[in-house]
Structure formats: C-alpha cells, structure tokens
Amino acid sequence: MSHHLLLIIHLLCASIWVGGHVLLVFGHLPQALREKNQNIILDYERKYEPVGMTALVLLVVTGIMMAYKYGVSIEYWFHFETPIEKVVSTKLLLLLLTVLFALSAQFRVLPKLKNNPGKLPEMTFHIISVTLIGVLMLVFGSFVRFGGF
C-alpha cells in the first residue's frame, strides 16, 4: 500500500480518535459531572467504542507500516538513536500507556461506575489522561515531516 494512502487512513483515524475524546471531554463530561449522572458517559462510550477502537487499531497498523517504510523496523524500536525512530518509539510508549488506561477503565472503574456515581472523578481522570495522550501522539506524529526530534 502506498505511503500516501496509509497516511490518509492514519489521519482519518487520528481525527476520529482524538476528536471523539475531545467531544467527550468538552461536550458530555461537564454535564455528567454537574448532574452526577454517569449514564451520560456510559451512553456515549457505548456508541463511540466500536468506532473509536477500530480507529485505534487502524492507527497502530498504518503507523507501524509507515514506520517500516521509514526504515524503522522492530529491531530499531526503543533505541532512541535516530530522529524518526525516536518519534516512533515515543508513540509506541504512549500507545502502551493508552492501553493500560483502557484496561484500568474497563476492569477497575467501569464495572463500579455503573451503579456508583462516586467513581466519576476516577473516570474523569482516565478520560482526560487518554485525551491528552491522544493529542500528544498527534503532535509527535506531526514532527515526522520535519525530520523527527
């Protein structure tokens, strides 16, 4: 697949991943906290999850395929030696952090949040963290066209 097509899919998925989280943070989270109503978040997550998770999986697949096209294959990851490899390795670490937050939300927070609005602050922390990490991945990705960092 051409690098350009991979980049277009990557950017579309980045819009969905980051945009979906920003909408949650600014469009739904304030009302949920004001009204202490966790269902506002749970309803949004239910609808967004299939689209968001598909976007995240495609981000990883297209990102890794583009990294290979830049010559950054698995044996170079996490060496932090060359500028593009530094961007790729940093994004992979942020991806790992995103997965850890997702697992923590899925298995620790969400089961309790369903019946307990007292878990809203913890869920808010997870949502804001994943959103900020997504924005960072976007900003770091933009460095590639300037030669990396």
Binding residues (CB under 6 A) for ligand HEM: these are: 7, 10-11, 14, 17-18, 59-60, 63-64, 66-67, 70, 88, 91-92, 95, 134, 137-138, 141-142, 144-145
Shortest Cβ 85–ligand HEM spacing (Å): 10
Pairs from 63-72 (Cβ < 8 Å, separation ≥ 24) = 63/10, 63/88, 63/91, 63/141, 65/1, 65/6, 66/3, 66/6, 66/7, 66/10, 69/3, 69/6, 70/144
Cβ closer to ligand HEM: 36 or 145? Answer: 145
Of 63 and 120, the one with the shorter C-beta distance to ligand HEM is: 63
- Smallest gap from Cβ 80 to ligand HEM, in A, equals 14
Q: Which is nearer to ligand HEM, 88 or 127 (CB)?
A: 88
CA 55/CA 52 separation, integer angstroms: 5
d(CA 87, CA 72): 10
> How many CB atoms are closer than 10 A to CB 80?
10
Choice between 39 and 73, CB closer to ligand HEM = 73
CB 70, min distance to ligand HEM, A: 6
Helix (H, G, I), strand (E, B) or coil at 108: helix
Q: Which of helix, strand or coil describes residue 132?
A: helix
Cβ proximity to ligand HEM, 15 vs 39, nearer residue? 15
Question: Which helix (H) or strand (E) element contains residue 111?
Answer: helix 110-113
CB of 38 to ligand HEM, least distance (A): 25
Least gap, CB of 4 to ligand HEM (angstroms): 9
